Structure 1
Amino acid sequence: MGSERYNFNMKQALVAGGIAGTAVDVALFPLDTLKTRLQSKSGFKASGGFRGIYSGLTSAVIGSSPGASAFFVTYEYMKKKLGSIFPDSKYLPFIHMIAASGGEVVACIVRVPTEVVKQRMQAKQYSTTSSALKTIFNQEGLNGFYRGYFSTVIREIPFTCFQFPLYEYLKIVVAKKTDRNYIEPWEAAICGSVAGGTAGAVTTPLDVIKTRIMLSAKGQTIHNYSGTINTFNRILHEEGVKALFSGIGPRVIWISIGGSIFLGVYEKAKKTLCEYDILA
């Protein structure tokens, strides 16, 4: 039994994904800022505390729409293709893991540069987006914008391998419980919240590692981190296991609410586009 009410195309998935990405990033930006500052080696207060919690919003908005669009187009395309190759329902978790992982790899090409700028501004390293862009490019070149790319992908793939199979499974369960072969957007929002919060808690250490690497500037001698394994070992030896779960509270709250908004808005936007034959 499926959980899709409408047949949609990739153009509709592209637009719906962009709407969903922008909605969730703007709505939850303050929580994301607090999480970043809690994970900073400099400490919460030194990184800005509760001041300027919208620092870096411009960068986030610029990257959220194309990043989410890239994810959903890749995810939906791979899900359909793999579904035709492996039609047996026992392969669904595998299909969702592979499709979501592919979506994240593509989305991170767009997302990481904006994430680097956003997180450094959240940590009060730069005061404006333009100064952040100029300084990073002058000091680190184009590679500076992709600092933490692999640690981000390493974090996102386990996260998405938890989130999307669980999300798709919950959608099927809800559809069966309600004697329908589809679910409504508000139901998808609840499924997204549960799946996102669970995945967020499990992958918090990977998020801490990614944040430390992104906050490190080239030439920085103190608090400089490079490489996922090296960063993991340093945090573990210098600060203990507890530090690997820094910001888990805001992260779980943020991703639970974010999963609800992101997937709820995506399903609602997709439904609206299909109902009114927009981009059909």
Structure 2
Amino acid sequence: MSEQPSFLASLLAGGMAGTAVDVALYPLDTIKTRLQSPEGFVKSGGLRGVYNGLSAAAVGSAPGAALFFSSYEAAKHALDPDSPLAHMAAASVAETMACLVRVPTENVKQKMQAGLHGTAIETMNAILKNSGMTGFYTGYLTTVVREIPFSFIQFPIYEGLKAAWAKRRGGPLEPYEAAGCGSVSGAFAAAVTTPMDVVKTRLMLGTDKHGETYRGLGDTFRRVYTEEGAAALMSGVTPRVTWIGIGGFVFFGVYEGAKTWLMGLGV
């Protein structure tokens, strides 16, 4: 059984991991968003301004990741730290909590990435004007519906790979070894959940290329599939898998390293 980190250690380590991965890999996320945009990659900005929206992402990344990991570790150890089913349940609880912070900043970030507005302030003002406060939570359900299957796939694989590797080497993994487990599990989960990511992106961007508003998860999925074909639901899969695969290495490596360091300090 793994040692349970304190709530504060999980919170701080998660915040460090979220910030590190967003800053390091933000351009790939921008490219993925533009590939999924109904306007197309070039009209959405191409390779220009790939750090557009970073300020909004940075505001949400640290608290979102901190809330996720503190919730995940607490739920996992409260259930059964060695059970894949417990890992799934804990990840689901954690994703639902983290999305309360992540979705508002994701809305701002993706509109900026797609070139709809210039600055974070302009984007937030436009959201408030058009949709009110609820506009910041556009796509919340879709995000949760995407993230829970993602975590259902990723975390049992991640924890399973860590356990198997630790058993083979006869002791706890180094942070870089845990990072490798995070990379493999994240890349696989990213590929499987790409269609829901496309739907979430379209909902957050608001309208299709004809200016018609998307109306919920089912409507968006149906329209993308019928109007653009099944291939459109896999738009951006390569940068998404690359981004999350590399991101998983950075994210879990920083998290495990920071968690070990903080626990060693008695946090």
Using structure 2 for the length normalisation, give the TM-score.
Answer: 0.97
Cα contact 2:25–2:243 (8 A) shared by 1: yes
Which residue does 1:57 correspond to in 2?
54
**Residue 26 (str. 1) matches residue 23 (str. 2):** yes
CA distance in 1, matches of 2:244, 2:212: 27
Q: Mind listing any 5+ residue stretches in structure 1 that lack a counterpart?
A: none
CA distance in 1, matches of 2:201, 2:140: 11
1:177 deviates by 1.0
Cα contact 2:88–2:151 (8 A) shared by 1: yes
SS at match of 2:104: helix
Give CA-to-partner distance per residue, 1:12-34, whole Å, 9 cap, x none: 10000000000001111000000
Q: Mind listing any 5+ residue stretches in structure 2 that lack a counterpart?
A: none
Cα contact 2:4–2:77 (8 A) shared by 1: no
Instruction: Give the partner amino acid of 1:66.
Output: P
CA distance in 2, matches of 1:226, 1:63: 26
What aligned pairs does 1:1-280 form with structure 2 within 5 A after superposition? 2=1, 4=2, 7-83=4-80, 92-180=83-171, 182-216=172-206, 222-277=211-266, 279=267
CA distance in 2, matches of 1:222, 1:158: 30
1:228 deviates by 1.1
1:100 deviates by 0.2
Give CA-to-partner distance per residue, 1:80-134, whole Å, 9 cap, x none: 1111xxx8x5xx1110000001000000000000000000000000100111111
CA distance in 2, matches of 1:25, 1:256: 13
SS at match of 2:75: helix
CA distance in 2, matches of 1:134, 1:228: 25
Cα contact 1:193–1:257 (8 A) shared by 2: yes
Cα contact 1:79–1:96 (8 A) shared by 2: yes
1:7 deviates by 4.6
What is the identity percentage for the equivalent residue pairs of Structure 1 and Structure 2?
53
**Aligned pairs, number:** 267
1:64 deviates by 0.2
Give CA-to-partner distance per residue, 1:46-96, whole Å, 9 cap, x none: 10000000000000000000000110011001001111xxx8x5xx11100
Cα contact 1:74–1:102 (8 A) shared by 2: yes
1:8 deviates by 2.0
CA distance in 1, matches of 2:168, 2:213: 51
Cα contact 2:186–2:248 (8 A) shared by 1: yes
SS at match of 1:28: helix
Instruction: Give the partner amino acid of 2:74.
Output: Y
Instruction: Give the partner amino acid of 2:85.
Output: F
CA distance in 1, matches of 2:210, 2:98: 31
CA distance in 1, matches of 2:212, 2:40: 11
1:157 deviates by 0.4
The 3 A distance-change label for structure 1 pair 223 and 43 is farther
1:226 deviates by 2.0
The 3 A distance-change label for structure 1 pair 59 and 248 is same
CA distance in 2, matches of 1:37, 1:154: 22
Instruction: Give the partner amino acid of 1:115.
Output: E
SS at match of 1:124: coil
Using structure 1 for the length normalisation, give the TM-score.
Answer: 0.93
Cα contact 2:194–2:233 (8 A) shared by 1: yes
Cα contact 1:41–1:223 (8 A) shared by 2: no
1:276 deviates by 2.2
Give CA-to-partner distance per residue, 1:191-219, whole Å, 9 cap, x none: 000000000000000000000000006xx
